[in-house]
């Protein structure tokens, strides 16, 4: 008698995308990869699953420290070693139950089904037990967060300590902002279309948006959407660009005929904005040490119909690339710890280490010292970071001014510096310092 073949059990909808999300999350948490690189390491899912994948990956990293604490509490007995992807899958399951609108039964079924992909016969039962126990003990688990700072804030303890030390009156608002999804800001290309006309285009297509009061090209969407679906995006009418980053063009204030250096230009947003805001610019030199990221900047300029001289080189070593002609304006968008853009890049909470602060500060000082001689007398250097750490911002500029007699602030018209904290008027966290070179 021939045995009847049984069809394999049917997978719950969404199982595959949860497997992929767990592998991406594990690549960040266990291997130290950036989220961007982790996404690129795997074939993309079908278009219908892309939004869900991004929500699972970004959300589970945004709340990583709380989720990891909960998993530890929910394990009845240790299972060592736990496959990193399986551990990530548990965190993703808990994320769905707390922050997503997926019905609980569907989230549990798809997450438990995804456990089969990790090759351990006990995995499904193990994941199921963790998620079911969370459903039963949700209230008591919430109460047990009290006093566990990493779990309460969903930030590493050292990072919260930095925020409290630098911003004793604001640190809680910073943490809260970091744990929210970011808004979607646009920058209208003034060379191609007026902002009012672009807002009319958005309205005609049912896309709700509003203009920023003090930024002439900035538009805030009520709901984020894939940038490729924005009207006129391919044609270069608009770019995705946080309002905080759009302040650079105002602060640097280039004038027609001037020679401008964007010293750390990739991926090209600020460089493009400078060219859009000053059509009569004499020359724009865009420099970056990363060839791949510089290629992204080149593509962005091409999409927008803009031109710049692109150079792949280290800004801290001008002898290798500088032609000896001074610049009237220098934009130094300095490498930093990026603690001001955590809500946009939640993997920063997992990847950043305390030692990174001092290393970034040392690199920033080398760049300032190397680029200052390239600035013409009477010219302006705009120092920008996307962090909130005083060591990389105000302290850095204070020390540079003290050691550089020819460096002056720009007086009342351009205050010497400004720190924007995450969430302030819906912006990311940025620091600006505009320094004039004495004539």
Summarised one tens digit per residue, pLDDT across range 168-179 is: 999 999 999 999
- Residue 199 pLDDT > 90: yes
Q: Domain residues for 285?
A: 156-181+245-439
* Across 113-117, 174-178, 230-234, 320-324, least confident range: 113-117
Q: Look at residues 165, 80, 182 and name the one whose alpha carbon lies nearest to residue 389.
A: 165
| Residues in a beta bridge with 186 | 219, 240
- Residue 8 pLDDT > 90: no
In a domain, 3, yes or no: no
Q: Could you say which DSSP state residue 391 is in?
A: G
Give whole-number Cα distances, 371 to 58, 134, 262, 376, 436, in Å. 36, 55, 11, 11, 13
Q: What is the pTM of this model?
A: 0.93
Q: Both 312 and 348 in a single domain?
A: yes
In a domain, 424, yes or no: yes
Tokens (6 digits) for 239: 């770019």
Between CA 48 and CA 325 the distance in angstroms is 52
pLDDT at residue 130 in the model: 93
Q: Residue 386 catalytic?
A: yes
Give residue-wise pLDDT tens across range 75-99.
866 555 578 999 999 999 999 999 9
Q: Residue 317's CB: how many other CB atoms inside 10 A? A: 12
Q: Both 269 and 364 in a single domain?
A: yes
Q: Both 188 and 171 in a single domain?
A: no
Q: Both 383 and 344 in a single domain?
A: yes
Query: Total structural domains in the chain?
Result: 3
- The HSE-up count of residue 379 (CA atoms within 13 Å, CB side) is 20
Give residue-wise pLDDT tens across range 138-183.
998 888 888 899 999 999 999 999 999 999 999 999 999 999 999 9
Average pLDDT, the chain: 93
Nearest 10 degrees: Cα torsion 175, 177, 179, 185: -150
**58: which residues sit within 8 A by CB, 6+ positions away?**
35, 181, 346
Give whole-number Cα distances, 351 to 74, 171, 421, in Å. 25, 20, 21
Q: Both 293 and 421 in a single domain?
A: yes
Instruction: Point out the catalytic residue in the list 271, 278, 336, 386.
Output: 386
pLDDT at residue 9 in the model: 54
Q: What is the CATH number of the domain that holds 219?
A: 3.30.70.1170
Per-residue confidence at 7, pLDDT binned at 50, 70, 90? very low
Contacts of 298-304 with CB under 8 Å at 24 or more apart are 298/268, 300/239, 300/267, 300/268, 300/269, 300/272, 301/268, 301/271, 301/272, 301/275, 303/234, 303/236, 304/189, 304/191, 304/192, 304/236, 304/239, 304/272, 304/275, 304/276
pLDDT (average), residues 230-234: 97
pLDDT at residue 47 in the model: 92
Q: Both 256 and 366 in a single domain?
A: yes
Q: Both 199 and 270 in a single domain?
A: no
């Amino acid at each position: 008698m021939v045995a009847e073949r049984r069809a394999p059990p049917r997978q719950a909808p969404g199982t595959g995308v949860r497997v992929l999300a767990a592998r991406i999350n594990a690549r960040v948490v266990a291997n130290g990869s950036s989220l961007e690189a982790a996404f690129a390491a795997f074939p993309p899912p079908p278009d219908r699953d892309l939004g869900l994948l991004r929500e699972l990956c970004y959300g589970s990293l945004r709340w990583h420290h709380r989720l990891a604490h909960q998993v530890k509490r929910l394990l009845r007995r240790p299972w060592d070693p736990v496959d990193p992807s399986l551990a990530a899958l548990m965190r993703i399951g808990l994320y769905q139950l707390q922050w997503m609108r997926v019905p609980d039964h569907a989230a549990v079924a798809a997450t438990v089904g995804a456990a089969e992909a990790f090759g351990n016969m006990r995995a499904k039962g193990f994941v199921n037990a963790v998620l079911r126990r969370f459903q039963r003990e949700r209230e008591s688990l919430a109460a047990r967060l009290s006093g566990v700072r990493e779990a309460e804030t969903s930030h590493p303890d050292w990072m919260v300590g930095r925020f409290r030390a630098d911003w004793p009156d604001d640190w809680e608002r910073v943490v809260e902002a970091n744990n929210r999804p970011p808004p979607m800001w646009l920058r209208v290309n003034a060379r191609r279309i007026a902002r009012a006309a672009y807002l009319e285009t958005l309205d005609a297509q049912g896309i709700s948006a509003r203009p920023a009061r003090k930024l002439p090209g900035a538009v805030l969407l009520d709901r984020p959407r894939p940038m490729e679906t924005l009207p006129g995006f391919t044609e270069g009418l608009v770019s995705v660009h946080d309002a905080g980053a759009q302040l650079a063009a105002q602060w640097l204030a280039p004038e027609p005929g001037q020679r401008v250096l964007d010293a750390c230009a990739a991926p090209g947003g600020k460089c493009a904005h400078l060219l859009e805001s000053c059509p009569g610019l004499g020359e724009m030199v865009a420099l970056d040490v990363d060839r791949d990221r510089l290629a992204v900047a080149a593509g962005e300029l091409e999409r927008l119909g803009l031109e710049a001289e692109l150079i792949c080189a280290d800004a801290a070593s001008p002898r290798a690339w500088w032609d000896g002609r001074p610049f009237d304006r220098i934009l130094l968008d300095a490498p930093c710890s990026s603690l001001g853009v955590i809500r946009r890049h939640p993997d920063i909470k997992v990847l950043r280490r305390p030692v990174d602060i001092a290393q970034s500060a040392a690199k920033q000082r080398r760049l300032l010292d190397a680029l200052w001689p390239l600035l013409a007398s009477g010219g302006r250097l705009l120092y920008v970071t996307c962090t909130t750490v005083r060591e990389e911002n105000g302290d850095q500029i204070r020390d540079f001014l003290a050691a550089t007699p020819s460096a002056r602030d720009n007086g009342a018209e351009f205050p010497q510096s400004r720190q924007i904290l995450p969430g302030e008027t819906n912006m990311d966290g940025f620091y600006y310092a505009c320094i004039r070179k004495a004539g």
